[in-house]
Amino acid sequence: MISQKSVKGYVRQKDTNESMVGAIVFNAAKEYCITDQNGYFELFLSKNDSIFASTLGMKPLKTEINDGTTFLNLYLEPIISEEIIITAKNNTIKDIKHITVNKEKITKLSSLAGEIDVMQALQFNPGVQHANEGQSNIVVRGGLPDQNLVLINGVRLYNYLHLFGFIPFINGEMIKDVKFYKDNFPAKYGGRASSTIDITMFDGNTKKTELESTIGLISSKITYKKPLLNGKMGINIGGRVSNLNLIKIFSENNYKNSADAISAGINIYDVSFSSKYIISDAANISLFGIISNDNFDVKQKINQRGEEKNKISWKNALIGAKFHSIFNNILSIESGISLLNYSNSYKNLNLDTQKNRLSEYIVGSGIHECNIYTNFKVYFSNKININSGIGYYITNYNVFNYKDISNSLNIPLITQKNTFGFVEGNTSFESFDFSGSLRLDLLDKAATLQPRINVVKKFNTLNVSVSYSVINQSAFLIQPMTLFSPIEIWVPSTKKNPNISSQFSVGVRKEIGKHLIVGVNYFIKTQTNIADISTVYTKIDSSLQSYFYDISYSGKLKAKGVEQYIRFSGEKFNFDVNYTYNHSTSAFSDINNNTPYNTNFFRPHSFNMAIGWRPFKKITFNLKSIFSSGHPISIPVNAYIYDNVVGLIFNEKNNGRYPDYFRMDVSIEFLKSKKSIWNFSVYNLTNKRNPFAITFEDKVQYTTYEDVVNFKIIPSISYTYKFYGYN
């Protein structure tokens, strides 16, 4: 038996000292590991062995290992020749367990020039569908938008969109890596039932100063990276402002000069920062934060009788710190703490011609959350390792508050305490990978056990994967279907009956040659104790002040589907084609008389395609297309008039359906030089009228409907210039 020793360390980019996520590190015997989100690796080597490291866009590295070496930092150099084009293709059995999307791929799959949108990019994967027109919200495998666990550096987000979802939440220049799970869920993830989107920010350039700026029709942004403390510390700062703010200037001028006019103003900005301090070769600490703010103002003159003003606001703020260190020969520890504050509100004000207040009301909601955790990794050999961790969430839900001239309503603050722990064992061979785990969540002392098993077997060029996962859902997004409430209202799951999701999936994937991959997946999942509003479908007295008390937690969701995909990755040409068929129903004891109905965002058929072509060194064409069935809508069957207000009466939920959805986007990227990039795009090239939302006319008999907002053809342009620090 050949004796082995453990060698551990970090893989970093040589010219910036940024940690490299998802790099492959292997020995001469082809035993390998993949770096985590800290760039950390551990590998067992034989005497006089060599260690190799490689990743997308970097030169492969080979290092000879001395007998006494137990710790090693590996530095990879970028491939800077424009003649070399690296295409992404999963080459290891571990890569099959999740989808990794880097910044370059996100950019190509985003739909607006200059915007790097993670959610838009993820829509071009099998089993993933968009939620609404113009929104980056996604629905995964028949679930709901609130069932996606979205993390930024481990911080759980409740809102990750700007401007009703048309603009991404975070400046894409700050994103280093995205891992997407729709099955094979690692045990460290919990709290959402359908998917996990784990976003990692750049952690701090400690070697050179970089400055990059982008000016576009939709938004303008700047990113600045600066090394500090003799290369031991680096800081990244990114800022972005929407150019839609300019709408206010033009509409306000028309508003002043017209007796019956509308003025609209959109004010959007966000600021991101991340910083890393290298304490020693084996330890580092990082800080990060994001502040974002959205304000949408509309005011209207009403036939010289007065003025109506509306204002919608969203605010997000998060800050966190993370520590990673290597101890002894086999143990690594990561600890973190974070704070999140999210709020949104809607204000309506009516004035007469003398500016006297006729009516006014304000509705609002918000969430305040603190999280602390510690994770441990123990490597016993190249084939066996154990991950474990403990953590604690305390979340305060400001569920709903309402105030008008004559009365007010404040739902008492609801506090949810969530202690969790997990243990996960992994064993991996050249053609076989197995992980089994158990996660325990104590939601206000109510225990939820969540076993998970993932198996991947490789038969030459054929891969078969099987997964079974149980996941809890700790909170729900409640959206009134018939009341104009633009705010997002989150409620915690009940103490006695937490939501539980069970999913089984099996997939087969075939590699054909060096460039082509075809595959098919089947999944089936059930969920219990999901939440929705019950009275709006059975009573005629539902209102903003009362509906919160009529939330039902008795729902059950069943979904199943088949996903098919074809991927081709060549040097100058690549494409992804995906088709998904799924069926998803919900049933509540107090909605629809317990009769199952189509889940809110259920789309039976979904087809998407993304094509990239680089005919010349400096020009890249991208074409993207999405087709899907329309999602359900609740159609009223009658109406009533009370106090001169028309109300709607429903007898069945989701008894109608939106029109089928189709959109085609194109973009051209022109690399003028290594520092200068032009991007041209057209959103919805065919000018298809896809409803953003549907409302019904205010008449007693409802025979027609209209789409409230729709995004038709939108051309866009952006220009990016890298001032210095770039090769």
Residue 202, φ and ψ in degrees, nearest 5: -55, 135
Q: How far apart are CA 57 and CA 416, in angstroms?
A: 44
CA-wise closest residue to 495 among 573, 454, 553, 434: 553
Q: 614 with 569: CB under 8 angstroms?
A: no
CA-wise closest residue to 452 among 465, 429, 435: 435
Instruction: Return the number of other C-beta atoms located less than 10 Å from residue 574's C-beta.
Output: 22
User: What DSSP designation does 96 have?
Assistant: G
pTM here is 0.88
Question: CB-hemisphere CA count at 13 Å for 608?
Answer: 22
Residue 321 tokens, joined: 């710190």
Residue 201 tokens, joined: 């920010």
CA-CA-CA-CA torsion sign (290, 288, 190, 602): positive
User: What DSSP designation does 243 have?
Assistant: G
CA-wise closest residue to 243 among 262, 267, 224: 267
Q: 376 with 333: CB under 8 angstroms?
A: yes
Instruction: Return the number of other C-beta atoms located less than 10 Å from residue 259's C-beta.
Output: 7
Question: CB-hemisphere CA count at 13 Å for 562?
Answer: 4
CA-wise closest residue to 498 among 443, 420, 550: 443
Q: 451-462: string of b/e by CB count within 10 Å (b at 16+)?
A: ebebbbebeeee
Residue 229 tokens, joined: 């403390």
Strands in 32-34's sheet, in edge-to-edge order, are 32-34, 24-27, 50-54, 61-64
Which CA distances in Å does 631 have to 563, 586, 665? 18, 14, 21
Q: How far apart are CA 721 and CA 727, in angstroms?
A: 13
Instruction: Return the number of other C-beta atoms located less than 10 Å from residue 354's C-beta.
Output: 6
pLDDT at 706: 58
Instruction: Return the number of other C-beta atoms located less than 10 Å from residue 177's C-beta.
Output: 18
Instruction: Return the number of other C-beta atoms located less than 10 Å from residue 257's C-beta.
Output: 8
Give the distance, in angstroms, between the CA of residue 277 and the centroid of all CA atoms in the same chain: 27
CA-CA-CA-CA torsion sign (118, 624, 89, 387): positive
Q: Which residue has the tokens 């069943």?
A: 558
Q: How far apart are CA 709 and CA 702, in angstroms?
A: 19
pLDDT at 239: 92
Q: 218 burial class (0-12, 13-18, 19+ CB within 10 angstroms)?
A: buried
Domains of the chain, first to last: 4-80 (2.60.40.1120), 95-724 (2.40.170.20)
In the three-class reduction of DSSP (H, G, I as helix; E, B as strand; rest coil), residue 250 is classed as helix
**What is the radius of gyration, based on Cα positions, of the chain?**
26
Q: Which residue has the tokens 């429903």?
A: 650
250 contacts: CB under 8 Å, gap ≥ 6: none
Q: 375 with 385: CB under 8 angstroms?
A: no
pLDDT at 483: 42
Q: 395 with 403: CB under 8 angstroms?
A: no
Regions in the chain scoring below 70 on pLDDT: 1-3, 80-98, 111-114, 133-136, 163-166, 251, 253-255, 257, 259-260, 303-304, 329, 479-486, 495-496, 535-549, 640, 642-648, 693, 695-711, 724-727
Q: How far apart are CA 299 and CA 284, in angstroms?
A: 51
pLDDT at 541: 43
pLDDT at 702: 46
Residue 670 tokens, joined: 């022109």
User: What DSSP designation does 575 have?
Assistant: E
Q: How far apart are CA 543 and CA 645, in angstroms?
A: 12
Q: How far apart are CA 685 and CA 715, in angstroms?
A: 8
pLDDT at 84: 37
The β-bridge partners of 408 are: 403
Q: Which residue has the tokens 């911080």?
A: 155
Q: For the chain, how long is the longest CA-to-CA vector?
A: 93
What H or E segment, with its residue span, contains residue 247?
A: helix 247-256
Q: How far apart are CA 209 and CA 217, in angstroms?
A: 27
Q: Which residue has the tokens 């059975």?
A: 538
pLDDT at 584: 94
pLDDT at 59: 87
Name the amino acid, one letter, at 185.
F
The DSSP bridge pattern shows strands 499-512 and 661-671 to be unpaired
Q: How far apart are CA 401 and CA 36, in angstroms?
A: 42
Q: Which residue has the tokens 């303008």?
A: 220
Q: How far apart are CA 127 and CA 142, in angstroms?
A: 8
